[in-house]
Chains A and B, each alone.
Chain A
């Protein structure tokens, strides 16, 4: 993982930067949509409480879900790793002789690298979410969890479609969408497997809930013979009532919609009286590192409902986009999840990729204290000796000095004089040893007075002994 290097490249990528400018729109629309709610802050608290209730007894709620889902005719399978997800899906394909999979959006399928594994097993995966379809054509991972191709411009996609579809180049988004729709229609009608993610698993009814805008989710879950829903084990919510509470926040937080165009609640395979639906329905509940977070100091991260509000409001994400984060999940939630899942030693930069400005935590619909979790990851880096020696040493020396006020006063008095001398005519320092990162793109204003506050205050106290302390 080399976040810094990728971030640098991303900052210089003009096309990417044009794409990222669109992220602002999500934040503005969210603000408007949240104002529709009578008590948005109270609702966020209630949503966090629903998620916490599940996480306190996760095994119990998973079993409750499994029982209901099984009772309604679905098969519930468990995968410990991403590789196991792929092998379970391939097993299902073999059992039912399935050849083509249409997919609605699923970040878990990215965790499992499912498309690669399916293709290797002779099953053709077709992404049907428009953004994911573009990603698949371009052979790129999504760069945002709800807006997968936010990193591309309209012109990028026009060029891609021309090349991959072998049709004349189009100019308008509507035309391109229509062309993708035509391409996808044949796949919808010929696929024998539908693979979806799941926004929530509802324990009360054994259902999977999907929040979509394009209608592809409904096609994926009803047209093919077999439907497989793949979700993380933490996605369970107890009741339909809880689901509806969370639904008041999810679309608003994600895209600023009061409600998404489609909300699908799929329960079991087709029944005797049903006009449509799959013959077989499977759930694959995936751990892939999640149980490591249960009961620990990062458990709050499992509240996440994958709305993307944290990245939409993150100035770091807005500067560098999703690919810089290096794994499946970008932005603040990704900066927490990635080290938690792949190990802090494999993602050294990510916990540092935050100013702790707190914008993410202030919009998170389930009140995940993202900066606090990132700080805990930094603490782990320090505890495990993963920070550079000069940083550790610098902090120790400074910390020790700060605990010895007389020495500190001497050192700072000297430091201020030196800094003042380093300043140019306008009182600006152009280069600083050990802080070239600062001076590369900005000056350091030199301390104009040349004396510390404590020195000035002591002088004032000598002049006005009555007011000294």
Chain B
């Protein structure tokens, strides 16, 4: 099984340990993992900013890089959601490309969805002593139905207990450029999220999208919380403690 790992631009730059963790989990599951060296970004920032031309060019690039793989897996519900649910919208006027992106979309998975539902792993290398809480990132949850998968995988981690926070499905306020354009509203939303994380009593908040992680960790530290860890689910599962 040839799995193309789409690292995502944010992971590439801001937290490569997530990419390494994803790589090890996939290899541990017996996948032949390929990491196309020319990959950059899925084009979502352009798409959500209304720049279809740039989004389409980048979508075509991802298509060419990954269509030869059996699967495309990304450690991000947001990027996987872009490829799976939004790429077809970009090629409405060219049936050939539309059919190709539809085929790519059908084999595109968010990492935990892939691990839980496709390769169905039953053991993970990670260990974690303590309680974590899980934040459901919006795109993974609502575009791809990622909800039970990360929780089922976290159950495989020895020592880990899950304590759900209030409003775990409510947006953290990241929203890409929203965090900069609508900074006051975004600040309010991430503050609410941080309060709910705090109230859960968990030692760490675990989640599946780096955008939300940067937002939540940045806010937690700014408000003086240096204790609560912010971890990607891949890091926890692979036993690679972040940074």
Q: Which residues of A contact B (CB under 8 A)?
A: 4, 7-8, 11, 315-316, 319-320, 352-359, 361-362, 372, 375, 377-383, 387, 391-392, 395-396, 398-399, 401-403, 405, 408, 412, 415-416, 419, 426-428, 435, 437-438, 440-445, 447-449, 451-454, 456-458, 460, 467, 469
A selection of 28 A-B contacts at a CB cut-off of 8 Å is: A7-B184, A8-B184, A11-B185, A353-B185, A354-B175, A354-B178, A355-B189, A356-B176, A357-B142, A358-B138, A358-B139, A375-B48, A375-B50, A378-B48, A392-B51, A395-B51, A402-B9, A426-B221, A435-B180, A441-B184, A441-B187, A441-B219, A442-B187, A448-B243, A452-B12, A452-B16, A453-B7, A456-B20
What's the nearest-Cβ distance from chain A to residue B63, in Å?
13
What's the nearest-Cβ distance from chain A to residue B17, in Å?
7
What's the nearest-Cβ distance from chain A to residue B234, in Å?
12
Supply 12 further A-B pairs (C-beta < 8 A) apart from A378-B48, A426-B221, A453-B12: A319-B185, A320-B185, A378-B50, A392-B51, A405-B40, A412-B12, A438-B180, A448-B15, A448-B242, A453-B11, A454-B37, A457-B35
* Bound-complex Cα distance A440 to B181 (A): 12
Look across to chain A and name the residue whose beta carbon is closest to the beta carbon of B230: A445
Kindly identify which residue among B40, B49, B182, B219 contacts A395, using a CB–CB cutoff of 8 Å. B49
Q: Which residues of B contact A379 (CB under 8 A)?
A: 50-52
* CB of B173 within 8 Å of the partner chain: yes
Q: Which residues of B contact A356 (CB under 8 A)?
A: 48, 138-139, 175-176, 178
> Are B179 and A358 touching (Cβ within 8 A)?
no
* Bound-complex Cα distance A453 to B175 (A): 23
* Bound-complex Cα distance A11 to B185 (A): 8
Interface range on chain B (Cβ under 8 Å from partner): 35 or more
Look across to chain B and name the residue whose beta carbon is closest to the beta carbon of A427: B243
For the complex, would chain A's binding face be called helix, strand, loop or mixed by DSSP majority? helix
* Bound-complex Cα distance A401 to B45 (A): 14
* Bound-complex Cα distance A428 to B52 (A): 34
> Are A353 and B182 touching (Cβ within 8 A)?
yes
For the complex, would chain B's binding face be called helix, strand, loop or mixed by DSSP majority? helix
Look across to chain B and name the residue whose beta carbon is closest to the beta carbon of A352: B181
Query: Top 10 nearest A-B pairs by Cβ distance?
Result: A355-B175, A378-B50, A437-B183, A399-B54, A441-B187, A442-B218, A357-B171, A453-B16, A469-B34, A448-B243
Q: Which residues of B contact A415 (CB under 8 A)?
A: 13
* CB of B146 within 8 Å of the partner chain: no
Look across to chain A and name the residue whose beta carbon is closest to the beta carbon of B211: A355
What's the nearest-Cβ distance from chain A to residue B81, in Å?
9
> Are B13 and A358 touching (Cβ within 8 A)?
no
Q: Which residues of A contact B171 (CB under 8 A)?
A: 315, 355, 357, 359
* Bound-complex Cα distance A391 to B46 (A): 11
* Bound-complex Cα distance A382 to B188 (A): 28
* Bound-complex Cα distance A322 to B205 (A): 32
- Whether A403 touches B58, Cβ cut-off 8 Å, given contacts A387-B50, A426-B221, A438-B179, is yes
Q: Which residues of A contact B176 (CB under 8 A)?
A: 355-356
Look across to chain A and name the residue whose beta carbon is closest to the beta carbon of B8: A453
> Are B50 and A403 touching (Cβ within 8 A)?
no
> Are A399 and B185 touching (Cβ within 8 A)?
no
> Are A405 and B15 touching (Cβ within 8 A)?
no
Kindly identify which residue among A316, A352, A440, A454 contacts B187, using a CB–CB cutoff of 8 Å. A440
* CB of B109 within 8 Å of the partner chain: no
Look across to chain A and name the residue whose beta carbon is closest to the beta carbon of B34: A469
**Most A CB within 10 A of own CB, among B16, B48, B173, B221:** B16
What's the nearest-Cβ distance from chain B to residue A3, in Å?
9
> Are B37 and A405 touching (Cβ within 8 A)?
yes
Kindly identify which residue among A359, A395, A437, A441 contacts B45, using a CB–CB cutoff of 8 Å. A395
* CB of B152 within 8 Å of the partner chain: no
* CB of B214 within 8 Å of the partner chain: yes
* CB of B112 within 8 Å of the partner chain: no
* Bound-complex Cα distance A383 to B169 (A): 34
What's the nearest-Cβ distance from chain A to residue B173, in Å?
6
Q: Which residues of A contact B116 (CB under 8 A)?
A: none
- Whether A315 touches B170, Cβ cut-off 8 Å, given contacts A353-B185, A355-B175, A427-B243, is yes
What's the nearest-Cβ distance from chain B to residue A383, in Å?
8
* Bound-complex Cα distance A419 to B218 (A): 14
Look across to chain A and name the residue whose beta carbon is closest to the beta carbon of B243: A448
What's the nearest-Cβ distance from chain B to residue A376, in Å?
8
**Most A CB within 10 A of own CB, among B27, B50, B187:** B50
Q: Which residues of A contact B186 (CB under 8 A)?
A: 355, 437, 441
Q: Which residues of A contact B19 (CB under 8 A)?
A: 453, 456-457
* Bound-complex Cα distance A313 to B131 (A): 29
- Whether A408 touches B40, Cβ cut-off 8 Å, given contacts A11-B184, A362-B142, A387-B50, is yes
Q: Which residues of A contact B94 (CB under 8 A)?
A: none
Kindly identify which residue among B12, B169, B214 contacts A445, using a CB–CB cutoff of 8 Å. B214
> Are B182 and A378 touching (Cβ within 8 A)?
no
